[in-house]
């Protein structure tokens, strides 16, 4: 019964059904093809972007290497001049010593004719080379010390803190980085770690003593003025006057302010040097303002890293580093805007 009741499809209905199926498949194919083209374009864009980023990163590395090459070339020239001058002075000293030896031998030959004088001449001849060798040895040591002092001026980021003892935690950390670097630069002298450390301690002691004497003189003058000032008052007024002076004391002397400025400048110099060593993703974008979203994201990663890298020498707060970064960025951005648009940005 079911077979008899089934209504056969006409030819037109079958054709319409086939046509609809083909159209649906064609639309699906077009969608897939369009989607494939879009994905292909996205991949191409990503490849181009990666190439641009790699070029910028490589360019920054090239700039960094060029700066390092210039610094090393300058240091090499300075060391060559220093060694050349030192060799000339050593040659002059040796010539003068030879002349003195010749004059001494002539005087001895004229004044001494007996056998005792000949024995004395032999003893003098046997003694002089050892004495001259000791003199040359001391000259080599002094030459190495002078070279080390010159090298220390080229490592401002590794300068020992005069306000700390040599065995303080801060200076110990600095020495762990500084001594191997000095040994490498002074390889010709073949100095041991302990020898370089001893010389550094001697140099640091001189600087620290000068620093302490300076602070002591400033404090003695300051407190001497306070004692004279308080002594001119009666005992009933001294308590009130001492309160006034205690309120004035935190202002500090001019010398202390200058010392604080020097510390701040050294910390800023270290920060600038570190910024030149960081990769491109930690470089603030001068095309955008300091408060832009992209630079905010960079600062969230950059500031903690700067704090950590600077901490062996200086304990800087997050806000302090951010303020200095904003100053550096403002200068670079204004230079960029003036060169491109003749504008100045206040961030």
* Domain boundary residue, one of 251, 272, 299: 251
What is the domain count for the chain? 3
- Looking only at Cα atoms, what is the longest distance across the chain? 160
Answer yes or no: are the C-beta atoms of 161 and 203 closer than 8 Å.
no
* Domain boundary residue, one of 210, 228, 251: 251
Residues 227 and 322 in one domain: no
* Domain boundary residue, one of 45, 66, 87: 66
Domain assignment of residue 83, yes or no: no
Provide the domain limits for residue 40: 29-66
Answer yes or no: are the C-beta atoms of 145 and 199 closer than 8 Å.
yes
Distance separating alpha carbons of residues 113 and 180, to the nearest angstrom:
59
Helix axes 193-231, 115-152, angle to 10 degrees: 70
Residues 181 and 193 in one domain: yes
**Along the 347 residues of the chain, how does pLDDT read in single tens digits?**
444 555 555 677 667 777 777 777 777 788 888 888 888 888 888 888 877 777 787 777 788 888 888 788 887 877 777 777 666 665 555 555 555 555 554 544 444 554 454 444 444 444 444 444 544 555 778 888 888 888 888 888 888 988 889 988 888 989 999 999 899 888 888 889 999 999 999 999 988 888 888 776 655 554 454 444 444 444 444 444 333 333 344 445 555 556 566 778 888 888 888 898 889 899 999 899 999 999 999 999 999 999 988 887 788 899 999 999 999 999 888 888 887 766 555 55
């Amino acid at each position: 019964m079911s077979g008899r009741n089934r209504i056969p499809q006409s030819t037109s209905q079958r054709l319409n059904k086939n046509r609809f199926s083909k159209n649906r498949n064609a639309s699906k194919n077009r969608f897939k093809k369009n989607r494939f083209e879009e994905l292909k374009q996205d991949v191409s864009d990503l490849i181009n972007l990666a190439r641009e980023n790699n070029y910028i990163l490589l360019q920054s590395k090239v700039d960094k290497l060029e700066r390092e090459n210039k610094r090393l070339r300058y240091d090499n020239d300075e060391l060559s001049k220093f060694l050349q001058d030192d060799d000339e002075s050593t040659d002059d000293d040796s010539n003068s010593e030879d002349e003195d030896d010749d004059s001494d031998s002539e005087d001895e030959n004229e004044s001494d004719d007996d056998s005792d004088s000949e024995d004395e001449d032999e003893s003098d001849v046997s003694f002089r080379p050892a004495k001259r060798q000791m003199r040359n040895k001391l000259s080599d040591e002094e030459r190495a010390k002078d070279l080390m002092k010159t090298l220390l001026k080229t490592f401002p980021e590794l300068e020992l803190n005069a306000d700390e003892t040599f065995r303080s935690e801060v200076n110990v950390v600095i020495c762990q980085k500084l001594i191997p670097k000095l040994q490498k630069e002074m390889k010709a002298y073949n100095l041991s770690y302990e020898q370089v450390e001893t010389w550094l301690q001697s140099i640091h002691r001189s600087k620290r003593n000068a620093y302490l004497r300076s602070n002591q003189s400033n404090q003695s003058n300051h407190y001497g003025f306070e004692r004279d000032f308080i002594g001119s008052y009666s005992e009933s007024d001294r308590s009130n006057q001492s309160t006034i002076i205690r309120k004035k004391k935190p202002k500090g002397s001019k010398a202390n302010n200058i010392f604080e400025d020097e510390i701040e400048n050294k910390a800023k110099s270290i920060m600038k040097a570190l910024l030149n060593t960081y990769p491109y993703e930690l470089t603030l974008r001068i095309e955008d303002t300091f408060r832009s979203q992209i630079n905010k994201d960079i600062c969230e990663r950059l500031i903690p890293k700067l704090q950590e890298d600077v901490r062996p020498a200086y304990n800087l707060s997050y806000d302090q580093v951010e303020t200095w970064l904003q100053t550096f960025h403002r200068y670079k951005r204004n230079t960029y805007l003036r060169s491109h648009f003749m504008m100045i940005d206040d961030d």
